[in-house]
Amino acid sequence: AVDTLAAGDVFHDAFAVGLAEAMPVEQTLRFASAAAALKCLRFGGRLGAPDRAETLAMMAAHWPA
């Protein structure tokens, strides 16, 4: 981890997106976890948050369908 600042916020935001998009619960948790993990790899609060493409790529790498 480089910086955990805002990791919880990123997790909750991504979790809310998953719920709003009616993702299955398991996929929602993976989406939120991947987003928070990617955030921890970068310095900076909000500016270190990953985008959707990066998050989905991490999901595909760690949880293949």
Q: Are 64 and 35 contacting, i.e. CB atoms less than 8 angstroms apart?
A: no
- Looking at the 3D structure of the chain, how many domains does it have? 1
Instruction: Note the pLDDT of residue 65.
Output: 73
Instruction: Note the pLDDT of residue 46.
Output: 87
Q: Rounded distance, CA 32 to CA 28, Å?
A: 6
Catalytic positions, written as ranges: 6-9
Tell me whether residue 2 is in a domain: no
Q: Which residues of the chain have pLDDT under 70?
A: none
What range defines the domain where residue 48 resides?
A: 7-62
pTM confidence score = 0.95
pLDDT tens, residue by residue, 1-10: 999 999 999 9
Instruction: Note the pLDDT of residue 31.
Output: 98
> What's the one-letter identity of residue 17?
V
